Amino acid sequence: MSTVSKAKAKAKDLESASRPIPVKTPFWTRGKRNCCIACCLFLVLLLGGGIPVFIFIGHPVLAGALLYGAELSFQSLNITSPQNDTLDLGFHIKVSNTGPFSADVSFPNDVNMFWTSTAASDPTEKHLLAFKMSPFSLSGGVGEIDQLLTTSVTIVDTPSFSLFLHTIATASSFTWRLRGNATITSLLVTSPDRVMDKSVTLTGFKSFSTGVVVKPGDMNVTSGNTVTMTVTIPNPSILTIELPDIAFDLSVPNPSNTSQRVPVGTARVTPGTRTFLNTPEARLPLTVSLTSPGGA
């Protein structure tokens, strides 16, 4: 090797020896480690405070909003075996507009049913029934309540319930208010004592007063002034109802004054009759007693 080449090699070696060796910086520096610890502590504090806030404040509000916005629609309603203070009750209700969360709803105590009389003399709300409502589930904003026939539903106010039965025979609609405390389980959290207070309007039997038909062969005259007949009611309500002993007053137009009517007797629903079926036409058997000369 020439002298020049040796000199260049020696100079290169000296340059490499004088260059500082780079030092690798570790990933977990003190700053990064402190930052990670701070984030973990913040997450623990957030969860430790946020979960109780959600359980005790957020979820009850969510559950209450679920019931508040819910819409109830009766698909069928059965009232049978009415006694002095009890009856059998069954219905099917569609529930909608309950929000995006799935939930299970149950009622640990009785649900109360109220009805407001349309009579001008007493337009107050009546507490008619108290009963156990079946639990139901909600998903995708909808659900269904299948209330199997519940025996021994309590009639809270017997005179008002009798008035209610008389009223729906000629009313185009009637409104029930259902109120009770519900327990709602959603998002793995349960909130008790959420108030359900919903008003539901159902169709009545307005055709009873305007469209009742006595078909040929549906009237029979028995001994004395007693007549049995079966009246046909077109397009009845969704109700299936077994009426107690209810009497209807009968009258005919006054020949001398057509604006007046003359009472001629009474018509009673045949005891044990289950009528107002959800069919195109409902048939109601009546026993008629003619008590005045106008009906002779």
| Model pTM above 0.75 | no
In degrees rounded to 5, what are phi and psi of residue 81? 50, 50
Give the list of residues 6+ apart from residue 262 with CB closer than 8 angstroms, or none: 251, 252, 253, 254, 292, 294
**What value does the mean pLDDT take over residues 63-78?**
78
- The sheet with strand 247-254 has its strands ordered as 219-221, 226-234, 281-290, 257-269, 247-254
Is residue 244 within 8 A of residue 169, CB to CB? The reply is no
Pairing of strands 189-203, 257-269: unpaired
pLDDT in tens, 210-266: 556 777 777 777 666 677 878 777 655 667 666 556 667 777 788 888 778 888 888
CA distance 133 to 108: 9
Q: What is the pLDDT of residue 181?
A: 92
Q: Is the pLDDT of residue 186 over 90?
A: no
3-state SS, one letter per residue, for 161-183: HHHHHHHHCCCCEEEEEEEEEEE
What percent of the chain has a predicted confidence (pLDDT) above 70? 62
| Confidence label for 29 from pLDDT (cuts 50, 70 and 90) | low
Q: Give Cα 146 distance to the centre of its chain.
A: 10
| Confidence label for 74 from pLDDT (cuts 50, 70 and 90) | confident
Sign, Cα dihedral of 66, 67, 68, 73: positive
Is residue 133 within 8 A of residue 180, CB to CB? The reply is yes
Q: Is the pLDDT of residue 156 over 90?
A: yes
pLDDT in tens, 123-139: 789 999 999 988 988 88
| Confidence label for 178 from pLDDT (cuts 50, 70 and 90) | very high
Q: What is the pLDDT of residue 167?
A: 78
Point out which residues pair with 3 in neighbouring strands.
none
**What value does the mean pLDDT take over residues 184-198?**
83
Helix (H, G, I), strand (E, B) or coil at 207: helix
Q: Give Cα 174 distance to the centre of its chain.
A: 16
| Confidence label for 53 from pLDDT (cuts 50, 70 and 90) | very low
Q: What is the pLDDT of residue 295?
A: 44
**Ranked by mean pLDDT, which of 38-52, 176-190, 208-222 comes out on top?**
176-190
Give the list of residues 6+ apart from residue 74 with CB closer than 8 angstroms, or none: 91, 92, 93, 200, 202, 238
